[in-house]
Amino acid sequence: MAFLTDRKRAVGLGSAKSGTDHHWKMMISSAALIILIPLFVFTFGMILGSPYEEVVAYYQRPFPAVVAILTMLVGWFHFRKGVQTLIEDYVHGLARKIAIIAMICLSYSAAAFAVFAIVRIAL
């Protein structure tokens, strides 16, 4: 029979020492999205349904292009952090590692494609 102290039982089960950093990054990206999403909706909504030539001319202006790029980058960063937390909480073993790697690749790829598409239209 093993007699374990409270300290021995707790070893390896404590904080990963990254929770505060993760929380602050989520809070900052949330605050940024509170500002960026309405800006994106209003700038995108103004050009929605217009012919291709007008859309290209509109996104060649710096403000709509920068708002769209920032919204995509911050949005996908926030997505990555949130889904990573979800996976860490509910998936275990090798599946956790595979899911985290796949989700990170997906989020960075989607952000890169979004930025590439906006830059391609803007230039």
Evaluate if residue 1 carries a pLDDT over 60: no
The domains found in the chain, sorted by start residue, are 21-122 (1.20.1300.10)
Q: What's the predicted TM-score (pTM) here?
A: 0.83
Tens digits of residue pLDDT in 62-106: 999 999 999 999 999 999 999 999 999 999 999 999 999 999 999
Q: Burial letters for 5-41: b for 16+ Cβ neighbours within 10 Å, e otherwise?
A: eeeeeeeeeeeeeeeeeeeeeeeebeebbeebeebbe
State how far the Cα of 73 lies from the Cα of 79, in Å rounded to an integer. Answer: 10
> Dihedral of the CA atoms 41, 28, 21, 92 (nearest 10)?
-20
| pLDDT value of position 21 | 87
Q: Which helix (H) or strand (E) holds 7?
A: helix 6-10
| pLDDT value of position 18 | 75
- Cα 103 from chain centre: 10
14, amino acid identity: G
